[in-house]
Amino acid sequence: MRAFLYCRVSSKHQTKQQGGTGVTRQEATVIEYINGYNPDPKLGYQLSLDDHEMLDPDLGKSAYHGYNFTKGALGEFKLKVLSREIKEGALIIENVDRFSRLPEHEAIREFNDLILGGIDIHEVETGIVYSKKIPNTLSKLAHSIERAWGESERKSSIAKKVWKARRETVLATGKPLPARTPKWLKIVNSEYVIDKKYSDAVNAIFKLYTEGYGTAYIVKYLNNNDMKIDDLSWSTAALTKMYSDERLIGWKSGMRVYPALVDEEVFKRAKEIKNSKVFLNKQKINGAQRSIFNSIARCGKCGAAMCVSVNGHNKLYYWCWKKRGTKECDLSGFVYAYAELAILQHIKNIEWDKVYLEGERGNDRSEELRLELTELLSYKLEIEEILKSTERPPTAVLRTLINTEEQIEKLEGEISSMISSEYEVNFDFNIDDIINQNNIELRQKCNIQLKKNIKSIVFNKYDGYIIIDIEYFTDVLKHVLIVNNKTGVLVSNISITKRGGVIYYNSGAFSIVESESEGVCTFEGIDNVSVTDYFLLANYIGSLPEKQWIVDVMYLQNNMDAVLK
Ligand SMILES: [Zn+2]
């Protein structure tokens, strides 16, 4: 079978510029593909360099290097295929998504023309062959191209175009449309029309869900707000299914078929939340928000998520997910209620103005980003779990991890650079009401507020104490709560403030002021500090990287004398 090689840049072109080796990287790649090609029995032919033709991208237009079906060598090749001058062949290209700069329905149609004209498309990067002889070729091709295209274009206009393309493909191939139309669509004048009432309800569902509301809450909201469809009540089961129903963004069996009801980004986020919830809330019963710190709580030893379980005496215990699951961590569990009460009381008393000082506060946009960040952080944990469980992780998963990390970094940068004074923190909750596990709605609302204002809560245990590190969406301040593991009593509350190279460690009336640049520290209020506060602070500072020297200063004889006198 004759192989037609198409590269974006030809060696002829490159030789002129670089006096180069005569073969470009792309050419080398496709040549290597042909040399290493194993015949596919479904296709029934071998490829060989003895029978090949290089399609010159510069042909006819000297400065043209783009992928194009109408101009240059590929355009001529297409015409020869359409005129039956070429009746069969294998077109070897690096990746079909390189053509995604074309509106995707055009790219699909162009490829379609070639395939129907007897040309098999060999995609070098993936090893996929698109051919008449291979089933589902068209949908696979459409999927690859659309995915690449979707990343670079705005979605609503795509939906229209793809819908059109789908219709055209259906018309051209005579393949019928899927028999069952989703209940939110009607066909009017052979076009899909979205049911307004359904669309409103679905968009409310996705909005609330991606804002962090639980499914039980959303169901109630819909049923109480005249958003039933045909007088039928919504159910949690229906909603749960909806979060991953790709027909809502127009997809069906790997093809874009319907007009989209939900914004693709929103849908993606909802799906991620759903997946991360399945992961984080395995112990969750009936939608109850057992841990109010879902998706911000982390184990201080291994970084895994925390989970709640019930012990034999019907008490809720808080565990590192890994300690509980794979036993890879050794952080022991503790009474959940102790941690919850200590943190809620602390948060209730926080002067948020001081946490998010003028110029350091976020605005609405940053609220949104914070929610996104917390979701991304749990998402990243999940991916890492997947990677750890296999020796040969699929490249797609690795790529997702890299993308996620990049996104997290980007978000963190964006959030910290945001400046606004309009931000308002609302922790106007009654603690007695919140700690009641039956108040599901209230606990969910509180969880959302926590997610918006607290970046992470990290749990450690040390010597009979639970050490709780609370980080906010600012580099300036963090708090550390130290709770007695047996009684739940808050024994110490440390704040750490960082300003212009100076770090203040505060515990009650006592502070240590550290100048990072000079490497010196001074003590304030050492005559009034309680012994417990002093030593707990020393222990805590000793656990921080490269701060042992401060602990050494704390243990100097004259300082010890002042504390113990
Ligand atoms: Zn752990």
pLDDT, tens digit, 9 for 90 and up, residues 76-97: 888 899 999 999 999 988 777 6
Would 546 be classed as within a structural domain?
A: no
Give the chain's length: 565
Would 541 be classed as within a structural domain?
A: no
- Note whether 16 and 92 are same-domain residues: yes
Q: Are 224 and 234 in contact (CB under 8 A)?
A: no
At 184, which CATH number? Answer: 3.90.1750.20
Torsion of CA 294, 297, 301, 307, to 10 degrees: -30
343 compared with 59, residue with greater pLDDT: 343
Domain count, the chain: 2
The stretch 188-206 carries a mean pLDDT of 83
372 vs 356: CA distance, rounded Å: 19
Say how many Å lie between the CA of residue 313 and the centre of ligand 1.
Answer: 24
CB count within 10 Å of CB 48 equals: 13
- Note whether 133 and 181 are same-domain residues: no
Say how many Å lie between the CA of residue 305 and the centre of ligand 1.
Answer: 8
Sign of CA pseudo-dihedral 322, 326, 329, 330: positive
Q: If you compute the radius of gyration of the chain from its CA atoms, what whole number of angstroms results?
A: 31
- Note whether 14 and 154 are same-domain residues: yes
Q: What percent of the chain has pLDDT over 90?
A: 21
Say how many Å lie between the CA of residue 329 and the centre of ligand 1.
Answer: 5
Say how many Å lie between the CA of residue 95 and the centre of ligand 1.
Answer: 42
- Note whether 163 and 226 are same-domain residues: no
399 vs 478: CA distance, rounded Å: 33
Which residue in the block uniquely carries the two structure tokens 């794979």?
326
Three-class SS state of 443: helix
Say how many Å lie between the CA of residue 540 and the centre of ligand 1.
Answer: 18
Say how many Å lie between the CA of residue 414 and the centre of ligand 1.
Answer: 29
Say how many Å lie between the CA of residue 466 and the centre of ligand 1.
Answer: 14
Closest CA to 342 of 471, 453, 490, 485: 490
Q: Are 318 and 298 in contact (CB under 8 A)?
A: no
Q: Are 276 and 375 in contact (CB under 8 A)?
A: yes
Mean pLDDT of the chain: 77
307 vs 293: CA distance, rounded Å: 10
370 compared with 422, residue with greater pLDDT: 370
At 51, which CATH number? Answer: 3.40.50.1390
Say how many Å lie between the CA of residue 525 and the centre of ligand 1.
Answer: 36
Would 81 be classed as within a structural domain?
A: yes
507 vs 480: CA distance, rounded Å: 10
- Note whether 9 and 47 are same-domain residues: yes
Of 237, 258, 280, the domain-final residue: 280
Say how many Å lie between the CA of residue 401 and the centre of ligand 1.
Answer: 20
Q: Where are the alpha helices (DSSP H) in 174-329?
A: 196-211, 215-224, 236-242, 264-280, 321-324
pLDDT, tens digit, 9 for 90 and up, residues 250-290: 887 666 777 889 988 889 888 877 776 554 433 333 345 68
- Note whether 161 and 41 are same-domain residues: yes
Closest CA to 252 of 106, 143, 171: 143
* pLDDT higher than 90, residue 67: no
pLDDT band at 494 (very low <50, low <70, confident <90, very high): very high
Say how many Å lie between the CA of residue 458 and the centre of ligand 1.
Answer: 10
Say how many Å lie between the CA of residue 479 and the centre of ligand 1.
Answer: 21
131 vs 139: CA distance, rounded Å: 11
259 vs 163: CA distance, rounded Å: 6
Closest CA to 454 of 468, 471, 478, 431: 471
Lowest mean pLDDT across 9-23, 101-115, 379-393 = 9-23
Q: What does DSSP assign to residue 49? A: G
Identity (one letter) of the amino acid at 422?
E
- Note whether 34 and 157 are same-domain residues: yes
Q: What is the structure's pLDDT at 149? A: 57
Burial class (CB in 10 A: 0-12, 13-18, 19+), 422: exposed
Q: What is the structure's pLDDT at 157? A: 44
| Mode of pairing for the β-strands spanning 334-335 and 502-507 | unpaired
- Note whether 158 and 195 are same-domain residues: no
Q: What is the largest CA-CA distance in the chain?
A: 102
273 vs 212: CA distance, rounded Å: 8
Taking each helix axis as running N to C, give the angle between helix 557-564 and helix 531-543, from 0 to 180 degrees, rounded to the nearest 10: 140
Would 88 be classed as within a structural domain?
A: yes
Sign of CA pseudo-dihedral 215, 220, 223, 224: negative
- Note whether 221 and 205 are same-domain residues: yes
243 vs 105: CA distance, rounded Å: 27
pLDDT band at 62 (very low <50, low <70, confident <90, very high): very low
Q: What does DSSP assign to residue 229? A: B
Say how many Å lie between the CA of residue 306 and the centre of ligand 1.
Answer: 8
Closest CA to 470 of 540, 414, 407: 540
Would 42 be classed as within a structural domain?
A: yes
Q: Which long-range contacts (CB under 8 A, 24 or more apart) does 403-409 make?
A: 404/376, 404/379, 404/380, 405/380, 407/376, 408/373, 408/376, 408/377, 408/380
Three-class SS state of 133: coil
Would 547 be classed as within a structural domain?
A: no
* pLDDT higher than 80, residue 414: no
Q: Which residues pair with 502 in a beta bridge?
A: 499, 515
Q: What is the structure's pLDDT at 153? A: 45
- Note whether 227 and 80 are same-domain residues: no
Say how many Å lie between the CA of residue 322 and the centre of ligand 1.
Answer: 5
Would 15 be classed as within a structural domain?
A: yes
| Helix (DSSP H) and strand (DSSP E) numbers for the chain | 20, 20
Say how many Å lie between the CA of residue 327 and the centre of ligand 1.
Answer: 9
Of 280, 315, 343, the domain-final residue: 280
pLDDT band at 457 (very low <50, low <70, confident <90, very high): very high
Say how many Å lie between the CA of residue 386 and the centre of ligand 1.
Answer: 16
pLDDT band at 467 (very low <50, low <70, confident <90, very high): very high
Identity (one letter) of the amino acid at 238?
A
Q: Are 86 and 40 in contact (CB under 8 A)?
A: no
Would 97 be classed as within a structural domain?
A: yes
Cα dist. 268→158, 206, 263, 316 in Å? Answer: 16, 10, 9, 33
- Note whether 98 and 222 are same-domain residues: no
Say how many Å lie between the CA of residue 257 and the centre of ligand 1.
Answer: 45
- Note whether 137 and 256 are same-domain residues: no
* Domain that residue 240 falls in: 177-280
pTM of the complete model: 0.46
* pLDDT higher than 70, residue 202: yes
Q: What is the structure's pLDDT at 71? A: 67
Of 247, 262, 280, the domain-final residue: 280
180 compared with 32, residue with greater pLDDT: 32
